[in-house]
């Protein structure tokens, strides 16, 4: 059995991956601005993507669920808040109607809304798995299904915020990783199916950037939401404070927003964008991918030699 692939494979693979209310819009405005829908735009990665797109002159339909968040988003230039819960079909249908009636068309979608649950697999209630899958998997499925006709009219783009957890899984991360592994398969299939329509599909896989999802995970484990954070016991508040401190130590998701900008507007967007905050997380992700290659190749009738694997990878890199 091969315990490690040679450093040449790792080096080559690194080169490969590191690479207000609606109103009628005039034809001139449509030409000047392209519209993008961002789900889960109230905070974290979604908020940062909304800010970067708007700052670059694009028009953002910013999806959020709460009145307070909708009001804050509506204060931003080039942004129109849209009430949107990706688990509620009525919200999605209303958003489609609203964006269609506005007359801007729709160039892109960023499926960012996401949740997490972290607990041992044999102790995770099915309701928690359903909760994560409903947002992280069915959410992008519902949104893309609903908005593809608008995207196809403009030969637009759709991208989903996955995670390096779509390649790495371990103790207590199974439910979240399952959802992100599924997004990898989903976006590959969708890309092939939408190719003839001219709609380009990509997935962005961030590592550990600053995001309120961590606070939500802690509160979910306590049976509470962010709105109920003031009702915590002293012990629960201590747990939440520790997570807040950890989250504050992480990098702002600027690089994730830049990847989204590229995926939406570059002439040749990439199918995948791994966005790690540091070399350690990048290497862990690459090693996880390489481990599967080694495990698939080992001790089976059609195994490749290490030289053949290197040649194969070199060919794939040249195609990127």
Whether 180 sits among the annotated catalytic residues: the reply is: yes
Domain hosting residue 238, numbered range: 214-249
Query: Is residue 297 a part of any domain in this protein?
Result: no
How many domains is the chain built from?
Answer: 2
Residue 248 — very low, low, confident or very high, per pLDDT cuts 50/70/90?
confident
Of the listed ranges 56-65, 242-251, 258-267, the one predicted with least confidence: 242-251
Question: Do both 52 and 105 map to the same domain?
Answer: yes
Residue appearing with tokens 């960023």: 110
Question: Do both 90 and 231 map to the same domain?
Answer: no
Question: Do both 192 and 243 map to the same domain?
Answer: no
pLDDT tens for each residue of 6-63? 445 444 444 344 443 334 444 444 445 899 999 999 999 999 999 999 999 999 999 9
Long-range contacts, stretch 127-131, CB < 8 angstroms, 24+ apart: 128/175, 128/220, 129/175, 129/178, 131/220
pLDDT tens for each residue of 86-128? 999 999 999 999 999 999 999 999 999 999 988 899 999 999 9
Catalytic residue of the set 176, 216, 270, 273: 176
Question: Do both 235 and 258 map to the same domain?
Answer: no
Q: Please tell me the distance from the alpha carbon of residue 48 to that of residue 236, in angstroms, as a whole number.
A: 29
Question: Do both 190 and 228 map to the same domain?
Answer: no
182: CATH: 3.40.50.720
Question: Do both 89 and 229 map to the same domain?
Answer: no
The conformation of residue 274, written as its DSSP 8-state character, comes to: E
Query: Is residue 304 a part of any domain in this protein?
Result: no
Catalytic residue of the set 180, 210, 216, 270: 180
Question: Do both 153 and 241 map to the same domain?
Answer: no
Query: Is residue 319 a part of any domain in this protein?
Result: no
Q: Please tell me the distance from the alpha carbon of residue 86 to that of residue 176, in angstroms, as a whole number.
A: 17
Stated pTM of the model: 0.85
Whether 176 sits among the annotated catalytic residues: the reply is: yes
Query: Is residue 68 a part of any domain in this protein?
Result: yes
Give the pairing type, strands 79-83 and 200-206. unpaired
What's the mean per-residue pLDDT of the chain?
Answer: 87
Query: Is residue 7 a part of any domain in this protein?
Result: no
Please name the residues in contact with 300: beta carbons below 8 A apart, sequence gap of 6 or more: none
Summarize the confidence of residues 190-195 as an average pLDDT: 98
Question: Do both 104 and 242 map to the same domain?
Answer: no
Question: Do both 66 and 172 map to the same domain?
Answer: yes
Q: What is the structure's pLDDT at 247? A: 62
């Amino acid at each position: 059995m091969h315990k490690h692939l040679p450093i040449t494979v790792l080096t080559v693979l690194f080169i490969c991956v590191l690479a207000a209310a609606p109103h009628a819009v005039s034809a001139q405005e449509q030409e000047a601005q392209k519209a993008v829908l961002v789900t889960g735009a109230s905070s974290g990665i979604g908020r940062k993507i909304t800010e970067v797109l708007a700052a670059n002159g694009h028009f953002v339909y910013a999806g959020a669920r709460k009145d307070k968040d909708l009001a804050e988003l509506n204060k931003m230039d080039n942004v129109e808040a849209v009430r949107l819960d990706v688990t509620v079909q009525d919200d999605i249908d209303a958003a489609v109607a609203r964006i269609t009636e506005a007359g801007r068309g729709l160039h892109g979608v960023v499926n960012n809304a996401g949740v997490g649950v972290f607990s041992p697999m044999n102790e995770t209630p099915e309701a928690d798995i359903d909760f994560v899958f409903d947002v992280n998997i069915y959410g992008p499925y519902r949104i893309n299904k609903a908005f593809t006709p608008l995207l196809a009219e403009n030969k637009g783009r759709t991208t989903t915020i996955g995670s390096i957890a779509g390649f790495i899984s371990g103790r207590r991360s199974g439910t979240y990783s399952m959802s992100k592994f599924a997004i990898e398969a989903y976006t590959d299939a969708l890309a092939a199916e939408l190719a003839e329509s001219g709609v380009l599909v990509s997935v962005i896989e961030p590592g550990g950037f600053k995001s309120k999802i961590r606070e939500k995970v802690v509160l979910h484990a306590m049976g509470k939401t962010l709105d109920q954070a003031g009702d915590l016991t002293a012990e629960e508040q201590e747990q939440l404070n520790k997570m807040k401190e950890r989250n504050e130590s992480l990098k702002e998701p600027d690089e994730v927003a830049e990847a989204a900008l590229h995926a939406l507007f570059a002439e040749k967007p990439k199918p995948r964008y791994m966005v790690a905050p540091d070399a350690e997380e990048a290497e862990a992700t690459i090693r996880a991918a390489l481990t599967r290659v080694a495990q698939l190749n080992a001790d089976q009738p059609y195994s490749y030699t290490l030289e053949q694997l290197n040649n194969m990878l070199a060919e794939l890199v040249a195609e990127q």
